[in-house]
């Protein structure tokens, strides 16, 4: 059987390079990185001729759920991993812990006025240190329109039906101190679905929303264990 490749999809306000620290600590397995183009040219072409283990961080996991059913690569996915992810993000009557639309609209409007401030505020909330967290090169390549589209996805997409019917191996990793995707959002996204009860959420006690950068060895170990179960 052909060895699967990791399909890695980053979250909002980030780029494909966010995976590098984790990959370096997990033996650098075969992988492919999607890039939404928030900081330059995007890359959305995904191989359709090999088995995949799809791993999404935050918005990246929601994007996987949104496209897995009707994409040419979706049928190749053998396992799913959510890292600080969710099946819905914004508030709804039946998703009361979701983020208020007003907050997301405020961020979207801010992308027109001061996108660097919006990104810095988000990264600090995610667990980064105070101050300017956007490098000079990234500022030059920053695409406010692409980032605004990403915020629209967070406001509009609801993929609870997709995850509720998922019947293949699944791993969800979350942080109890995540201020972006709170434990309540995580539980409402996954814990209520009977099909996922055999795969409870793996909770970390620290690392924030950007644990991929703050604690890459811990994430790398969990993803590597899940990945090697298919090899």
Mean pLDDT of the chain: 92
Question: For the ranges 2-11, 82-91, 133-142, 169-178, which has the lowest average pLDDT?
Answer: 133-142
Position 38 scores a pLDDT of: 95
Higher pLDDT, 198 or 221: 221
Q: 5-88+159-228 architecture in CATH? A: 3-Layer(aba) Sandwich (3.40)
> What pLDDT does residue 1 have?
62
Average pLDDT over residues 134-159: 92
Q: What is the mean pLDDT of residues 159-166?
A: 93
Q: What is the pLDDT of residues 171-180, one digit of tens each?
A: 999 999 999 9
H runs (alpha helix) in the chain = 20-24, 59-67, 101-113, 115-125, 136-141, 144-156, 160-164, 183-190, 211-214, 216-228
**DSSP track, 168-194:** S-EEEEEETT-SSS-HHHHHHHHTT-G
d(CA 174, CA 212): 11
Is pLDDT larger for residue 138 or for residue 33? 33
CATH 3.40.50.1820 residue ranges of the chain are 5-88+159-228
Q: Contact 15/39 with Cβ under 8 angstroms?
A: yes
Q: Residue 133 has what pLDDT? A: 64
Identify the pLDDT of residue 138: 78
The band of 131, judged by pLDDT with boundaries at 50, 70 and 90, is: low
């Amino acid at each position: 059987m052909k060895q699967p490749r990791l399909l890695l999809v980053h979250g909002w306000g980030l780029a494909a390079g966010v995976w590098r620290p984790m990959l370096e600590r997990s033996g650098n397995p075969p992988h492919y990185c999607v890039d939404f183009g928030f900081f330059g040219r995007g890359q959305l072409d995904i191989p359709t001729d090999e088995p995949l283990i799809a791993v999404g961080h935050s918005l990246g996991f929601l994007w996987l759920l949104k496209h897995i059913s009707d994409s040419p690569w979706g049928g190749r996915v053998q396992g799913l991993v959510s890292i600080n992810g969710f099946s819905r993000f914004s508030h709804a009557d039946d998703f009361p812990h979701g983020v208020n639309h007003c907050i997301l609209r405020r961020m979207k409007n801010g992308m027109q006025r001061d996108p660097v401030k919006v990104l810095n505020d988000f990264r600090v909330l995610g667990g980064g240190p105070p101050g300017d967290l956007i490098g000079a090169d990234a500022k030059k390549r920053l695409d406010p329109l692409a980032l605004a589209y990403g915020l629209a996805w967070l406001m509009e997409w609801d993929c609870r039906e997709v995850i509720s019917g998922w019947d293949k191996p699944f791993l969800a990793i979350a942080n109890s101190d995540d201020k972006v995707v709170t434990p309540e959002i995580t539980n409402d996204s996954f814990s209520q679905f009977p099909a996922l009860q055999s795969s409870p959420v793996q909770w970390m006690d620290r690392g924030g929303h950007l644990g991929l950068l703050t604690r890459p060895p811990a994430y790398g170990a969990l993803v590597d264990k899940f990945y090697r179960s298919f090899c």
